[in-house]
Amino acid sequence: MESRKLFVSFKMSEVCNLDCPYCYFFFNGDDSYKTNPARMSVETAERAGKFLAQGAQELGIPTVSVALHGGEPLMVGKKRFREIAETLMRTVSPHAELQMGVQTNGILLDEEWIRMFSELNISVGISIDGPKHVNDTVRYDKKRRGSYDRIVKAIELLKKSHQEGLIGEPGALAVILPGTSAREIYTHIVHELGLLKFDFMLPKDSWENYSPEMTDFIEKFSLELLECWLEDDDPKINVRSMKNVFAPFLTDFGVDMRINYIVDLTETITIRSNGDVSPDDSLPSISEEYRHTGCNVATSTLKEFYDRPLWSDLRSSVSTPPETCAKCEWLGYCGGGELITRYSKSRKFNNPTIYCSRNKALYRRVRQYLSDYMDLKDIDERTRRSNELAAAELVFEA
Ligand code: SF4
């Protein structure tokens, strides 16, 4: 494997102070959180840091991007959080560039947390699903109390801290909920709450459990979101998924970035609070094979983990896309989609993403939009070249 960036979903906490019914960590069929430690120990963090450092050295990975995740990561408490983050810095940083970000629901956030993030150079993302009447229907605590007011307080604190130069621009992440309006949620988050960096998370469904009505809805939602973003036409507003659709159309650099992102993401790993290692944290919901890989940071190396048969299966599934993808004019921009969304029991990952129609619709709309500013021949030539590059890059070594 020759990756440019290793993405790590780092489950420092396997408990949460909210009870959102759609949460893919707690309600995806993988119940390991019930027996795993609620909080990762510093000893496990030390082993995880050494595991990542050794892996980066052996596999020539220059950048390790760690998402400090849960459950709710702030539930580990300030002292433990600092110890874990400092342990990762001490063990990984001498061997690879270490990027750390925390994704929180904001309930516990206060000025002391922000000072720690500032000191340890940790970027912050907050989860919110829209205005109060949308957010509080799903993002509630165990007593069914909505979280909106508490989240907004945390957002105000994050914005103030950003203005004071303590932290970078805070990000927001929302889940797409059926029956909601992309325009209403976009307007609320960007223009009313003033969060300029945000994105929507697509449901991590597979061909086994997806709903055609929901994927149709998500296609319409995504197109509406794209229109809102285009209407604003403001480079300060950073909606990552929409930028990802746009960037490869504009420059060869954008094409390279997109393909690198697709390739790197195929080998994302998860480290659980007990040190167990599994592929991308949506995959354990599929089967026991991905839930309990037999690898732990205490007893395996990253190289040994990648040498497991499950990875050769994953790689060969990815490197032999189904005919629809191999012949698709958007292969270089899409790459076939996130692995979980390609999965079915009978064909494993040998399917296009369940969001294929959405992706095609977005690419078609961007092509049409750009044709007012660029020559269509140039647009299509870049798309063709990106397909050639992707076809070469997506073939993994055996
Ligand atoms: S748009 Fe659909 S067919 Fe094309 S590469 Fe993506 S998943 Fe495959």
Please name the CATH architecture into which domain 6-309 falls.
Alpha-Beta Barrel (3.20)
Cβ pair 69, 103 in contact under 8 A: yes
Question: Mutate which of 360, 362, 388 to test ligand 1's pocket (most atoms within 8 Å of Cβ)?
Answer: 360
**Could you tell me how far CA 53 lies from the centroid of its own chain?**
22
Measured from CB, residues less than 6 Å from any atom of ligand 1 are 324-325, 328, 330-331, 334, 336-337, 352-353, 356, 359-360
3-state class percentages of the chain: helix first, strand second, coil last, to nearest 5: 50, 15, 35
| Ligand 1 atom closest to residue 321's alpha carbon, by position in its atom list | 8
Q: Measuring CA to CA, how many Å separate 155 from each of 67, 73, 104, 171, 225?
A: 19, 17, 11, 10, 22
- What is the domain partition of the chain in residue ranges? 6-309, 320-393
In tens digits, the chain (398 residues) has pLDDT values of 455 889 999 999 998 988 878 776 766 667 778 888 999 999 999 999 999 999 999 999 999 999 999 889 999 999 999 999 999 999 999 999 999 999 999 999 999 999 999 999 999 999 999 999 999 998 988 899 999 999 999 999 999 999 999 999 999 999 999 999 999 999 999 999 999 999 998 988 899 999 999 999 999 999 999 999 999 999 999 999 999 899 899 888 888 878 777 777 777 899 999 999 998 878 877 878 888 888 999 999 999 999 988 888 787 777 777 778 888 999 888 988 888 899 998 888 889 999 999 999 999 999 999 999 999 999 999 999 888 888 777 654 33
Residue listed under structure tokens 């397909």: 387
Question: Mutate which of 245, 331, 367 to test ligand 1's pocket (most atoms within 8 Å of Cβ)?
Answer: 331
Other CB atoms closer than 10 Å to residue 2's CB: what's the count?
9
Give 139 Cα–ligand 1 centroid separation in angstroms: 32
pTM over 0.85: yes
| Ligand 1 atom closest to residue 352's alpha carbon, by position in its atom list | 7
Separation CA 70–CA 76 (nearest Å) = 9
Question: Mutate which of 325, 329, 333, 354 to test ligand 1's pocket (most atoms within 8 Å of Cβ)?
Answer: 325
